[in-house]
Structure 1
Amino acid sequence: MAPGGRRPTRRTFLLTAATALVATACTDSPQQTLRIAAGEPGGFYKEFAELLAAETTATVISTTGSVENLTLVRNGEAELALTLADAASAAYAGRTPFTTTVPLRALGRVYENYMQLVVPADSPAESVTDLAGKRISLGAEGSGAALFGDRLIAGSGITADVDHHPLADAVAELAAGTVDAILWSGGVPTPALADLHRRRPIRLVDLTDQLPALQAAYGAVYEHVAVPDGGYGHPVDTIGVPNLLVSHRDLPTDVAAAVVRVLVTRASRLVPPQALGTQYLDQRSLIATAPLPMHPGAAAAYRELRG
């Protein structure tokens, strides 16, 4: 509590964080100040956030994913967040599942994210429409996978028995045969899915027949991508969504610039094992933050680093 019993404002907290982060860059005494809203244990977001936190002396908040992360930033409970671009676009515009606009700014486009609709290897399903009437887990509540999954099913025109479970629970259900498919949003190979593949072979369903409808409704946040070999099952085409590192617009410019310098100058330390074929950490890709505007402090750092 601030002197006199006043609760610190967002601005006061962020200025304190800025001072600590800049001081940390000049000393060997790390101070944990910034909070990064990440994702589920075992997922790409959590791994990347932990690597970034180690380089910036921040703390990592475990969450269910993009929608919860953006809510934490909106409410002043996190300074940085990892999010899928489609969830960020919805938050910035105040579209479902958000009821008001969230004043976000981007620090960088960090990685590609693969939408992975997983079925047993012996499943007859070859497309989303083949799952009509089936039991599907579409990501944890509050995750980017859940947002995408609901859009995917709605756009396909099918009716399915849908629930929303965290990855560990969804994997257990698929292994036990209590669901027919699960949706996961992340890098390849996701360790939990690779482990499942060793116990009960799985494969991914090609989602690209749904891409035109999704792009027509939501724009270029959805992309056609090829899942690289070396994951689980055979290579397959699917839908990709960029991962963004974002903040509230009130994040001080010194903090935004310091984080960007870490992204650029320490990129080799920020590559999780799940980042096979997905790395964006060079300036040409980092600055492509549409649909969000870039934070002014981040933009200044990119200009400085470009020379």
Structure 2
Amino acid sequence: MTPNRRRFLTAATGFGAALLTGCGPATPPTVRVAAGEVGGFYHAFTAMLADVAAETATIRIHPVTTMGSLANLDLLTRGDADAALTLADAAQHTPDHLTAIGRVYENYLQLAVRADAPLTDIRQLRGARLSLGAPGSGATFTGERLLRAADLDPDTDLTVTHLALRDAVTALTDRTADALLWAGGVPTALLDVPRSLRLIDMGALAQPMRDRFGYLYDRVIIPADAYPATPAVQTIGVANLLVTTPALPDDTADALTELLITHADRLVPAVAAGTQFLDVRSLIGTDGIGLHPGAARVYRRYHG
């Protein structure tokens, strides 16, 4: 047999095998998801999403640790992430390149003070030292709106710093800060309520927030005993969205959305209180951010 004929037969055999096997197993696409701080629900949710995805042959999730919503949107805009978790109000104030995969869960604004502090109302923070979320977090954006709804000017009425949650808790216990604002799920383990910290009721500010800044803000209840042996506390909730851009291929967005729908019951941290996490009926409510075509295709498959 001549060398040329041998090469031809070898190539033909390989081609036939490829036809039978569908060209071999395809590598699932990897989606880099900008998550959030370690210790927060963004981070916990993305880790669970990655674990569930690892069991499938359709997609892989790579969590990217960040400081929160604003940092996540910046990574997405720069192309350093493929999808991002963000508060809905922060998403509405970014360039119009965003598309949504779904509404994932509700974030709760939590204003914490020391358990022995005399503070009982946010308006008493005038002149106080407040950590208003980590740099790049959604709490920095929503928190300024919250202060203004309470008739407090963040530039002049109090001393504002921006610390990561763990550092803000330390500052509170060390008495170098008087309060911290956190936007996250309930309970958040790093908030040592009620042993060393206490939450301030902010339910009365929900309507002023809506009147001044729009419909995205809801009065919500942190249930009694969400933190051990604590009473119910009213506060303000903001939807959390999983967003991307049109650059994400339709089939990848389809696989990501399918993951949320078919594994919703496995994407809720064991400590989560109430029904704050994703529900297959509410995923489509993305607060004015248009659905990615791949996500829309999945919702049509399930809902018509």
Deviation at 1:279, TM superposition (A): 3.8
Matched with 1:9 is: none
Whether 1:38 and 2:32 are equivalent positions in the alignment is: no
Deviation at 1:272, TM superposition (A): 1.5
SS in 2 for 1:140: coil
CA distance in 2, matches of 1:70, 1:278: 26
CA distance in 2, matches of 1:231, 1:179: 25
1:131 to 101, 125, 134: 125
Deviation at 1:209, TM superposition (A): 2.3
**TM-score relative to the length of structure 2:** 0.83
Alignment of 1:85-100 (within 5 A): 85-91=88-94
On the 8 A contact 2:187/2:273 being kept in 1, the answer is: yes
SS in 2 for 1:245: strand
Alignment of 1:184-263 (within 5 A): 184-193=182-191, 196-197=192-193, 199-200=195-196, 202-232=197-227, 233-263=230-260
Whether 1:82 and 2:85 are equivalent positions in the alignment is: yes
Whether 1:119 and 2:122 are equivalent positions in the alignment is: no
> Percent of pairs identical after alignment?
46
Matched with 1:287 is: 284
On the 8 A contact 2:109/2:237 being kept in 1, the answer is: yes
Aligned residues: 270
Matched with 1:70 is: 73
Q: Residues 207-243 of structure 1: CA distance to partner in whole angstroms, max 9, x if unpaired?
A: 1222223212321111110011223332100000011
SS in 2 for 1:284: coil
SS in 2 for 1:34: strand
Amino acid at match of 1:110: V
SS in 2 for 1:86: helix
Whether 1:277 and 2:274 are equivalent positions in the alignment is: yes
Amino acid at match of 1:231: A
103-112 or 270-279, which moves further after superposition?
Answer: 270-279
**TM-score relative to the length of structure 1:** 0.83
SS in 2 for 1:283: coil
On the 8 A contact 2:185/2:276 being kept in 1, the answer is: no
Deviation at 1:54, TM superposition (A): 2.2
Alignment of 1:10-21 (within 5 A): none
1:142 to 136, 160, 181: 136
Amino acid at match of 2:113: V
On the 8 A contact 2:169/2:190 being kept in 1, the answer is: yes
On the 8 A contact 1:283/1:302 being kept in 2, the answer is: no
Higher helix share: 1
Amino acid at match of 1:65: G
CA distance in 1, matches of 2:292, 2:127: 45
Amino acid at match of 2:273: L
Matched with 1:306 is: 303
SS in 1 for 2:291: coil
Q: Residues 67-116 of structure 1: CA distance to partner in whole angstroms, max 9, x if unpaired?
A: 0101111111101100111111111xxxxxxxxx2410111111111100
Matched with 1:169 is: 167
Deviation at 1:30, TM superposition (A): 6.9
On the 8 A contact 2:115/2:195 being kept in 1, the answer is: no
Matched with 1:104 is: 98
SS in 1 for 2:134: coil
On the 8 A contact 1:280/1:286 being kept in 2, the answer is: no
CA distance in 2, matches of 1:84, 1:246: 10
